[in-house]
Each structure stands twice: as structure tokens, then as C-alpha cells.
Amino acid sequence: MVTRQLDVDGEPLFLIEIGKPYAEADGTWFCPYRIQGPTTSFVNRDAGVDGMQALLNVLYVLSAKAETSVENQEGRLTWGGQSEHFGFPSHEADPELREARRRQGR
């Protein structure tokens, strides 16, 4: 469906892909995603009550995955020259995620 390329050491080596949301037989919606970097690699999906929520949940997950990636922890990950923001919505925008992180002390 969509991709975003982040740079590792100035080279476009960190690919993020989001697939099209789809419904399973039980009515649960899922949105697949994939991250492929030099060190970080994930293939997964996230759920929601509808396609929009599944997509938004994936965007929050991708924000966290990029922030916590080895490449970012080593200070090597950038997007458009930025090293602290990769263009994804922050978990702070979702009150439930914000509360969960507060309870976890983050």
C-alpha cells in the first residue's frame, strides 16, 4: 500500500512498508507492516475494530519501532535530515496509548 524510506548513515537502507487493511472472517481488521533495515527486521500486523483503527495502530507501532531500532539507538537513522522525528504520529496523540505508557513509567 505505502512505503517510507529512512536513511542509515545517509543511505536509504531502512524500508518501512504498510499493507492494505483487511478483515478476517470474525470481523477483526488487520493491517500488515514490514520493516527492513541493516540490523532491524520485523514483519507483523496490528488489529483494530475497523480498517482505519488497524492502520492507525500500525502507524503508532511503526513510530515506536523506528525510535527503538538499533539503527536509531546508535544515532544512525534519519528521515529528511531529521534524527528525532520520522513523520509518524506520536503515541501521545492516542489517549489510551498515552495512559498505558504513563502507567509503565515511560
| Average pLDDT taken over every residue of the chain | 90
d(CA 36, CA 26): 30
Per-residue pLDDT at 101: 59
Q: Report yes or no: 35 and 13 within 8 Å, Cβ to Cβ.
A: no
Least confident of 2-11, 67-76, 80-89: 80-89
Q: What's the rounded mean pLDDT across residues 6-34? A: 97
Per-residue pLDDT at 93: 62
Q: What's the rounded mean pLDDT across residues 46-59? A: 95
> What is the chain's Cα-based Rg?
14
Per-residue pLDDT at 97: 60
89 falls in which pLDDT band (50, 70, 90)? confident
> Checking DSSP bridges between strand 77-78 and strand 29-36, what pairing results, if any?
unpaired
Kindly report whether the global pTM for this prediction surpasses the value 0.85. Answer: no
